[in-house]
Structure formats: C-alpha cells, structure tokens
Amino acid sequence: MRLFRLSVLFGISLIFTTASSLSQQPPAKSSKASDAPVAVIEAVTFEGAATLSEDVRAEITSALRGETRHPDWLKRFQARAQREFINTGYFDAAVTTRVNSSRQVNGVEHVTMLVTVNAGPRYHVKSINWKPTAPLPETELNSLSGIHVGDLFNMSKLGTTMAAVQGALRAHGFKESSIVPGFNLLRNEAQVELYLDVDSGMKDAAYQQPVCTKPSEAEVRESTLAPSAGYDPKRNGQLDLARAQLQAEQLGKRVLIFVGGEWCAPCVALERTITQSSRLTAILHDHFVPLYLNAGDGDECALRKLPDTRSYPMVYVFDAKGKLLAAHNPTDWLAFEGFDAQRIEAFLHDWQ
C-alpha cells in the first residue's frame, strides 16, 4: 500500500493542473501575441490501447487537442498525456508520444500526435473518508461529492467535489477554507481509498447571511454596468445582474454570465483566455453583455436566480427577455494548454 498526499491545487484535478499553471502566468503583452499559436494539435491517435473504452479515448483526446503557444510543447505534451491517463484512473499506465504527421497552415504547425500506451488496470473507488473540521455534516458532504464507492476513479470528479465543498463553505462565510486530498493506491486490487481533509478556517466575523432585496426599477435604470475586471467580491451581483439584463434588452444582445471566483484557478484561467484573445473579446462586445459573479463571496442573491451548480466555473446564457438559454460546465473547453479558444468561440457562435 502506498500513501499519496496531494497539494490543494493538485487535488483540484489533474485536468485543471494546466489551467492552474496558466492562471499563474503574467498576462500577454498584447492580444495579437496571445492569439498566435506555436502549434495546433489537430488529432490524437492511439497505439497499444485496445483496452480503453471509447469514452476514455474521447475524454483523453479532447483534453490533448488544441492550440499551444509554448515552444517546448512536445515535452509538455508528453507530460500532459501521462497525467491524463492518471486522471482517468490508469495509475500504472506507461505512455510515450511522438508526432505522427505534420503540415504547415499559414506558418503554424498542425500536427497529429501518436500516443503509445500500456494502460494497465483502471482503478475503482474503494472508500471515501471525510476528515472534516467544517460546519457541514457528512451527509451534506456526501451529497455535494457526487462520488460513490465502486465508481471508476476519475480526478475530474474529485476536482468537482472539492470545488463544490469549498463553494458551500464560502457561502457560509468561511472564505479561507481549504481541502487537502490524499489517497491510498491498492495496486493488488486496482482500487483507491480517498481521504479528504476539510479545513474551514476562521469564519469571517463580519459575515451575515444576506437578505435579498430586489433592486428597484429606478436603481437599475440609474446605475451603470461598468465591466468587471474579473470576480470582484465588492460588486453588488444582484444589481449587476438586473442592469446587465436591462442593457441586453436595450442593445438586443444576450447576457453571458461566468460564475466562479479568484480562489478558483480554472475560473481565472478561463477569464484570461477570453480577455487575452482579440477574437473572443470582439464576439463578446458585439453579441453579449458579459458578467462575472462570485460563488459564495458576496453574490449569493444573484446566484439564487441561476440553476444550482456543483462545480466552477459555470457559464450561463440568457436572452434579452431574461430566459435561460444555456447552463454549461466548460470542462469540454479544456485542452492541451489550458482552455481552447476555438472551443470557446464555437460555443459563443452557437448562442450569439
């Protein structure tokens, strides 16, 4: 038996590791530079992967495709491919990668990658062990988790669980909460024992359960919806939401809402992917009224108007009359180097 203790950001999910590292990098000097890929991974083919299901193949392929702007992308691709097999529960997988084919399109290398793998067994969840010091009963933690004994192990589900628990704690005023995951690999049984340490930290002394009062029509008309520089906890989310809806109606646009927080590395990475892309910002400006709402950090009243979510970030689209058109978990936008701008653009075109 071997015990693994993971850092908080690692535990948020190996799929989100790239997004996390992306969020730590400084903004590009110009949108033009950030729009120029070094290479585009168009397709991924597998060798020696007969035991992989079609779902796993599709999940790993989706995660590895996309644009990259890093000159050392071949080495990074190898590491990412190995992580993706671990993410889907193949802890013993041996993975090698190489370029299978390549072509130049407008000076950019478009490649097909060959992934050779000896996958080994896929691990299942044997037990889930909460070690909470949080004001949440274990029944609620289990309800939030979405993970069950006997499930195939998947780090994405673990990341969703941690985001949901942390969001619930923040909604109760515990802004400094943390979750430290760990697990035992039972290699002889191909099973995993999960351990989740929940530390709520100190409750904000000034925190009070918000009393939601609908903004008056005069307040909405007289206020100005200035673009938010991200997930600003000082903004009045309920007023912002009402003002965004009015602006969308006046301009014939749709409201595009991002729910997350500065404490959520993938949320920050998604925000930067959009703001650093001239194409995406142009689409937003032309067709949407964008709005960032904090999960459990000042915008509780606004969030009550949205469908319940168990993970962050979440994306919502409303029409000019306030009708919900789409509620989307953007994990399918994740790709080799974080969030893929082309997939985001396709979503925006579908709902503009």
CA distances from 330 to 8, 110, 258 (A): 21, 24, 10
Between 317 and 159, the more confident residue is 317
> pLDDT for 108-147, tens place per residue?
999 999 999 999 999 999 999 988 766 778 888 877 777 8
Distance CA 22, CA 37 (A): 15
Closest C-alpha to 257, from 284, 285, 292: 292
- Report the CATH number of the 217-351 domain: 3.40.30.10
Query: Could you give the residue range(s) of every CATH 3.40.30.10 domain in the chain?
Result: 217-351
Closest C-alpha to 78, from 59, 99, 57: 99
Distance CA 282, CA 349 (A): 12
How big is the CA angle at 330 (ends 7 and 165), to the nearest 5 degrees?
A: 45
Q: What φ, ψ does residue 109 adopt, rounded to 5°?
A: -75, 125
| First-residue to last-residue Cα distance in the chain | 52
pTM tops 0.75, yes or no? no
CA distances from 45 to 38, 59, 70, 162 (A): 21, 13, 22, 32
Query: Could you give the residue range(s) of every CATH 3.10.20.310 domain in the chain?
Result: 36-118, 124-199
Where b means 16+ CB within 10 Å and e means fewer, 227-248 reads ebebbbeebbbbbbbbbbbbbb
Tokens of 219: 């307040």
Closest C-alpha to 200, from 173, 225, 177: 177
Tokens of 231: 């997930």
Closest C-alpha to 65, from 313, 333, 246, 248: 333
* CATH for 36-118 (3.90.640.10, 3.10.20.310, 3.30.830.10, 3.40.50.720): 3.10.20.310
Percent of the chain with pLDDT over 90: 34
Mean per-residue pLDDT over the chain, rounded? 81
Residue 321 exposed, middle or buried by CB count within 10 Å (0-12, 13-18, 19+): exposed
**124-199: what fold?**
Ubiquitin-like (UB roll) (3.10.20)
> pLDDT for 178-197, tens place per residue?
888 888 999 999 999 999 88
Distance CA 130, CA 133 (A): 9
Distance CA 34, CA 41 (A): 17
**Residue 300 DSSP SS3:** helix
> pLDDT for 249-306, tens place per residue?
889 999 999 988 887 888 888 998 888 888 999 999 899 999 988 876 557 778 777 8
Tokens of 141: 């933690």
> pLDDT for 48-65, tens place per residue?
988 899 989 988 998 899
